[in-house]
Amino acid sequence: MAKTDTPLEFIGSSQDDLSAFPVEVKQCIGFALRAAQKGGKHPDAKPLKGFKGAGVLEIISDFDDDSFRAVYTVRMKGVLYVLHAFQKKSKSGIKTPLPEIEKTQKQLTRREKMKNIKVTKSSGNVFADLGLPNADEHLVKAEIVLGIADRVKTRSLTQAQVAKLIGLAQPDVSKLLRGNFAGYSFERLFGFLRALGNDVEIKVTATKKQKEGHLHLEMV
């Protein structure tokens, strides 16, 4: 985790609840939380109604005809808190059920008052926190995609222009920038960065102890 990243913490049972979600959902929500740690906002993260301002956001991930939600707040400076995670039971409408909003408010109030609340700090890798296999690989790929999104924004490129530059169909560019990167190899993702006018340098160093090393990516 970079020094400029916002630390991540889980309130109550939110980490366990997220960990029980389907793998595809955890990949989506994990990417959205990683983007939030870096000061960004995932397209599927929207301000949760019932809370003043835009300091409490809800990530919506639909999978296999079910809707999964995770709520986080950036209201308290210095830390990103995951307040609540749940599967929306109702099959009608997209509105967040009132009991889930009330639970989110209760969790937020407890954290603000530091009263009777369980807080779990992130390991530094949100994908590992959610119990995904190959968490290091997920984290590095997420960093690459966030880097691609940053380059696209800096150059004010449309998705159609990006599609032409990197050789993907426009709908696939949209999916990629939303964090659907599981089917892409490191080589191909690095190729996208190069096509957008970036140099890629790979550095291998020995571990300090004789154990399996870690994957790490630094974007400059």
Three-state secondary-structure class, residue 85:
strand
* CA dist., res. 166 & res. 192, Å (int): 5
Are 181 and 141 spatial neighbours (Cβ–Cβ below 8 Å)? yes
The mean pLDDT of 6-21, rounded to a whole number, is 95
The residues, any chain, with a CB within 8 Å of residue 55's CB and separated by 6 or more, are 73, 74, 75
**Is it the case that residue 146 has pLDDT exceeding 90?**
yes
Categorize the per-residue pLDDT at 34 as very low, low, confident or very high, splitting at 50, 70 and 90. Answer: very high
Which domains can be identified in the chain, with CATH numbers? 8-129 (3.30.2310.20), 135-195 (1.10.260.40)
**Is it the case that residue 99 has pLDDT exceeding 90?**
no
* CA dist., res. 71 & res. 101, Å (int): 9
pTM strictly above 0.95: no
The mean pLDDT of 27-56, rounded to a whole number, is 90
Categorize the per-residue pLDDT at 160 as very low, low, confident or very high, splitting at 50, 70 and 90. Answer: very high
Across 91-95, 123-127, 205-209, least confident range = 91-95
Identify the pLDDT of residue 36. 96
The chain-wide mean pLDDT, for the chain, equals 89
The mean pLDDT of 179-202, rounded to a whole number, is 93
- Cα 209 to the center of its chain, rounded Å: 31
Q: Is the dihedral of CA 34, 38, 39, 40 positive or negative?
A: negative
* CA dist., res. 193 & res. 151, Å (int): 8
Are 196 and 152 spatial neighbours (Cβ–Cβ below 8 Å)? yes
Identify the pLDDT of residue 149. 95
Identify the pLDDT of residue 94. 67
Identify the pLDDT of residue 92. 55
**DSSP-assigned letter for residue 112:** H
Element (DSSP H or E) covering residue 47: strand 45-47
* CA dist., res. 97 & res. 128, Å (int): 29
127 against 44, higher pLDDT: 127
Categorize the per-residue pLDDT at 108 as very low, low, confident or very high, splitting at 50, 70 and 90. Answer: confident
Are 67 and 87 spatial neighbours (Cβ–Cβ below 8 Å)? yes
Q: How many CA atoms lie within 13 A of 126 on its CB side?
A: 30
Identify the pLDDT of residue 91. 54
Categorize the per-residue pLDDT at 182 as very low, low, confident or very high, splitting at 50, 70 and 90. Answer: confident
